[in-house]
Amino acid sequence: MPMHKFTFFDTESTWDQDLHVGDKTIEPDLYRYRIGSKRIFAASAFDLTLDEQGQITCERISSWTEHHYGDEEAVVAHLFDHLRARPDYTAVGFGSIATDVSILTLAAMEYGIQRPRQFLKQRPATTLNSLRAHPGGHFDLGLALKGGGKTWHHLSEVILRLGLPTSLLQHKRSVPFPQSAGDWADVRAHIELDAVLLAIAMMAWCRSEGQTGLDPMMAALAILEWTRREARMTEAMQALLAEVCHDLTRRVTERMLLAA
C-alpha cells in the first residue's frame, strides 16, 4: 500500500560569542547576531508513516543533546545518521530552510560531516503530490504555508488554530542554554514535543491537501497519546500531556455523539 514516510525534526541553538566577536571584527558596524554565529546544542527526530487510507503509525522518537552526547558535532552527526538510515523518509521542518538546515550545513562544513540525502536535493517539495512523487527529500511546512505571500506563520499559531491549548506552547519561541541536569531534561522534553507538534500540524496540512480518511483532531489525540507513553517527557510534561489528551478525548466523544 502506498505510504508517506516522514521524519519530523527540530533543533535548538544558541549564540556563540566568539563567532559573533569575529563577525564584528570583520564588520565593526554589525550590531545584530547573524545566523552563522549560532551553534546547535540539541536536536530531535520523530518518525511517522501515513498510508493512503489516512492511517498513521508513530514509529520512534529520538533526541540528542550536547549534555548527553558531548558537543555540537556529536548532536549533528547523530541527527544526520538518523536521517541517513531512512533515505525514503521525508525530513520535515518548520522554517527549516532559513534556520535549522542553514546551521546544520555550516556545522557539517566545519566538522567534515556528510549531509543526508534529504538535505542534498535541490528542489524541496511544496505540495502533497510532490511529496508522493519524490519521497525522501526535505519539506519545510512553514514555507509551504507561506506560499507566494509575505506572511510567515509561527508553528505555535498553527497549533492554536488546530484547537490545542496554549499550555503546550509555553516557552516555545525561546529556549535558553541549559545550566543544570534538570534544565537539560526540560530541553529534551521540549525538543521532542516540538517535533510531535510539527507532526500534528503536518497531518492537518495533509488533510487540507486532499488526504482522505485523516481527521486532524483524531490524529492529534493519537500522536499525543503515543508521545505520553514513548517520549522522554519530564513528570510535569507527562501530567500536562495527560490533561490535554483527556480534554481531546472528551471533545472527540462529544463530536461523535453530535454526529450520531
198 and 190 in contact (C-beta within 8 Å)?
no
Q: What is the pLDDT of residues 200-257, one digit of tens each?
A: 999 999 999 988 888 999 999 999 999 999 999 999 999 999 999 999 999 989 888 8
pTM as predicted? 0.92
For domain 3-259, the CATH architecture is: 2-Layer Sandwich (3.30)
Helix, strand or coil, per DSSP, at residue 156: helix
Does an H or E element contain 77, and which?
Answer: helix 72-84
Question: For all residues of the chain together, what is the average pLDDT?
Answer: 89
Whole-number Cα distances in Å, 105 to 79, 101, 120, 151, 219:
12, 6, 10, 25, 32
* Weakest mean pLDDT among 39-43, 54-58, 176-180: 176-180
